[in-house]
Amino acid sequence: MIVITVGKSYIDIDGYASSIAYRELLRLKGIESKFVSNATVNYSIIDSLKSNYTVDNYLVNSNDKYIVLDLSDKSYFPDFVDENNIIEIIDHHPGYEDYWNSKIGCNALIEPIGSVATIIVEKYEQDNLLDKMNKDVAMLLMAAILDNTLNFTANITTERDKEAYKKLEVLINEYDYASKYFSECQKYIEDNLKESIDNDIKIQKVSEHLPNVFGQLTIWNADDLLRQKDLINQIMSNYNNEWMLNIISLNNNSSYIMYSGDSVKNKLVELLDCKEENGILIKTPAMLRKEIIKKAL
């Protein structure tokens, strides 16, 4: 069996959508595959996108081959993945290109692109199967591209991301999806703040310029969330004495960065050249966590 999987900590919309869409593409080609994950889905996978297309109830075995999406750092692979049985890696996070090229050659597709979902759309095109894509799958991929490119405002956005999204819009005849998607994300975050933060935390020593605990939330308008600064401080402080939370506000294309203290603040100001207002750092245009990490490296 071919098993498609993502990171073990949590699943965001890019990994979720890409895994489901790639599984369905392989099935269209007559190749049986399963999407297997034990991780918690985060707020970016909104209720309206949850359908019959979901994670499979499948128990992996020693004969399975693995495709890992939206991830190439093996320290975050699920425990059930046998590295020696990985046949394909598709990712857009830099840092492990040489390692996987030496292991699986051209089957390691790690590219500087906004969303892994874009690569999956391109694979459907290459196989002339885009018109066979189910509407629910297409909407998942649209959400993934929107989320990972910050509605096409992030620096990592490419023309490939824009073209893939346009083709999905035409496929399902949906041209006003961005505001619907991000508004639903925001409502869920505001109603489930602690859970939303908990399910999008990276705990990793990346660089001396960044704290080990790095959270991120993406919403349409940050105003109401910023008023809950005390609650956010309390939630984040449960992880570590040093932390940061990147709140991306799409309506004004800005990152509002909360932090644990002067030591973290000073490093971030130097790294990001951002300004401070009322104890919050503001960076315009907004930066994704992966962009901040890349800059720190």
pLDDT, the chain, mean? 94
* Among 282, 213, 222, residue whose Cα is nearest residue 242: 213
Residue 130: CA atoms inside 13 Å, Cβ hemisphere, count?
19
The 10s digit of each residue's pLDDT in 3-33 is 999 999 889 999 999 999 999 999 999 999 9
Residue in the block written with tokens 């203290």 = 261
Return residue ranges of the chain for CATH 3.10.310.20: 192-296
The CA-based angle 157-249-173, given to 5 degrees, is: 55
Task: Assess contact for 127 and 25: CB atoms under 8 A.
Answer: yes
Task: Assess contact for 7 and 71: CB atoms under 8 A.
Answer: yes
Residue 250: pLDDT band (50, 70, 90) is very high
pLDDT of 50 > 90? The answer is no
DSSP string, 119-132: HHHHHHHHTT-GGG
What is the CATH code of the structural domain delimited by 2-181? 3.90.1640.10
The CA-based angle 17-204-71, given to 5 degrees, is: 30
Grouping H, G, I as helix, E, B as strand and the rest as coil, residue 108 is strand
CATH fold of the domain at 192-296? Diaminopimelate Epimerase; Chain A, domain 1 (3.10.310)
Segment among 102-111, 138-147, 234-243 with least mean pLDDT = 234-243
Q: Which residues contact 64 (CB under 8 A, 6 or more apart)?
A: 1, 2, 3, 82, 85
At position 180, the amino acid (one-letter code) is: K
pLDDT cut 70: percent of the chain above it: 100
pLDDT of 95 > 90? The answer is no
The 10s digit of each residue's pLDDT in 200-241 is 888 888 889 999 999 999 999 999 999 999 999 999 999 988
C-alpha 136/C-alpha 222 separation (Å) is 29
Return residue ranges of the chain for CATH 3.90.1640.10: 2-181
DSSP string, 40-90: EE-TTS-GGG-SS---------TT-EEEEES---GGGS-TT--GGGEEEEE
